[in-house]
Amino acid sequence: MIIFVYNDFFIIVFSGFSSQTRFIQTNRDLLLTVTEEVQLGERDQFNWKFNDKNNIIRLLGGEEVVSFAAYENRAEFFKQNLSLRLKNVQLNDSGIYTAVVSGRKDVTLSTYDVRVEVSPVLLSVDSVFNSSESCNFTVSCTTELSPSISRSFTCNRHTCEEASPAPSDPAPSLQLYLSDVSIICNHSNHVSWRKDTKEKQQVCPFGNELILMFDFVSTRC
């Protein structure tokens, strides 16, 4: 047990500091808890903070709860046990979350290193223009959250190349490109990786008949 005295009020903290790493997918709710028992004095504060500088929620004197604008509709605070629920987490919610009680000094009760994993990704073929010697096709890469990206490619029997220079992507965590044999949609960040692929030969078979193996619209030149 640690006892802090501030302006004749006591901050009593039972047990010790804890630190954890949490992995969570996008669109899920994140629950952060304080395992220590805390008794706040009338002038004391309890805060949940993000990356040590952004306040999420503040409890004043054990009674008044202050929600900060950036989290007002996303954070749910449970005063009885000081836990925090962060709703619908996104990639930019990755970071360090701390539970801090403040008197004359700041005392960190819990620290969470939260790492938001990327959501599943879908590669779809939007259109194909096929002939016996060439094939032009457009593909899209989408996730649940990020804006979709699309690319158009031109292939002959030997090589494929992008039909025009790639635009700047609205979602930097998404990549859409060709390998020797595949079309690849990649969704990644520093802790996770998802991908979806299709074989180029299945999209552009260069035969007399176009094999309809995917859900797309095909137009023969």
* Other C-beta atoms lying within 10 Å of the C-beta of residue 101: 24
Domain range summary for the chain, segments of one domain joined by +: 2-117, 121-220
Q: Strands 18-25, 106-117: parallel, antiparallel or unpaired by DSSP?
A: parallel
Q: Is the pLDDT of residue 11 over 60?
A: no
Out of 66-70, 106-110, 213-217, least confident range: 213-217
Q: Which of 12, 57, 52 is nearest to 36 (CA)?
A: 12
Domain 2-117 listed as CATH 2.60.40.10: yes
Q: What would the mean pLDDT of 101-110 be, rounded to a whole number?
A: 86
Q: Is the pLDDT of residue 218 over 50?
A: no
Q: Which of 20, 31, 11 is nearest to 100 (CA)?
A: 11
pLDDT of residue 17: 55
Higher pLDDT residue, 172 or 149? 149
Assign 211 a pLDDT band (cuts: 50, 70, 90).
Answer: very low
Q: Is the pLDDT of residue 52 over 80?
A: yes
* Other C-beta atoms lying within 10 Å of the C-beta of residue 171: 16
Record the pTM: 0.61
pLDDT of residue 13: 40
